[in-house]
Amino acid sequence: MTARARLLSVVVVVLCGAIGVLSSTQTWFTVTLSAASTHDLEVPGSTALPVLAPLSLAVLALGAALSIVGLVVRYVFGVLTVAIAVLLGILTARLAVTHPVSAVARVVTDATGITGDVPVAHLIARLGVTVWPFVSLAAWVVLLVVGVFVLATAHRWRAGGKRYRTDAESTVRAEAAGPLDAVDSWDDLSRGEDPTSGSAPR
């Protein structure tokens, strides 16, 4: 399990970030106005929760960087992953459960020209929620778990970033670190090395 911890963490963090980015483009709420209207208003995730897209992109970057960073930075990234997961989880849960008018006010204002949460609330006949806030919330729960997993197992990961070290140093550290995992094998292949040979080419 230790040999696969880094690969598992990278894949899950990137997947959670990708779900967040996708969710930011999807409809989170539908609004029916009390005045006669021909269609419902759709509120995307990026409007309902403005920090969703940038923080999801940050999660993607963290996941990708986990494959190459050293021990200290792994802990820093683990803490950042947990912090982002908690923040987005709280904000997403609040929107999914309470359906605040503030989450849809911008779209209603653009459609009617009326501003202010109270006036906008009087215009809304029905405020419906789609599945996407709950999908996002599930992703943040998973992200929190994997962030804690990173903090618990990072000290046992094989050192990354081999392409930035000399061949001799890479060989010595590889012999001391034990078997390769999938991420390290890709690093070796990208440099023209045979990951099964146990040594760098002469």
What is the structure's pLDDT at 186? Answer: 54
pLDDT band for 1, please (50, 70, 90 cuts). low
pLDDT band for 122, please (50, 70, 90 cuts). confident
- Residues 103 and 117: their CA atoms lie apart, in Å, by 10
pLDDT of 170 over the 60 cut: no
What is the structure's pLDDT at 67? Answer: 79
- Its pTM stands at 0.74
Q: What is the mean pLDDT of residues 86-90?
A: 97
- List the structure tokens of 135: 């999908």
- Average pLDDT along the chain: 81
Q: What is the mean pLDDT of residues 165-192?
A: 51
Q: What is the mean pLDDT of residues 99-125?
A: 87
Lowest model confidence (mean pLDDT) among 29-33, 73-77, 115-119, 196-200: 196-200
Yes or no: say if 159 and 72 are a contact pair by the CB < 8 Å rule. Answer: no
- Residues 97 and 93: their CA atoms lie apart, in Å, by 6
Please write the tens of the pLDDT for every residue from 28-81: 999 988 765 667 899 999 999 999 999 999 999 999 888 788 888 889 999 999
Segment (H or E) for 73: helix 71-98
Q: Which residues lie below 8 Å from residue 33, measured CB to CB, with a gap of 6+? A: 41, 108, 111, 112, 123, 124, 125
Q: Which domains does the chain have, with CATH numbers?
A: 2-157 (1.20.140), 160-202 (no CATH)
* Amino acid present at 50: P
How many angstroms separate the Cα of 48 from the Cα of each of 13, 129, 168? Answer: 23, 11, 53
- Ranked by mean pLDDT, which of 1-15, 40-54, 187-201 comes out on top? 40-54
pLDDT of 158 over the 80 cut: no
pLDDT of 129 over the 90 cut: yes
Yes or no: say if 45 and 136 are a contact pair by the CB < 8 Å rule. Answer: yes
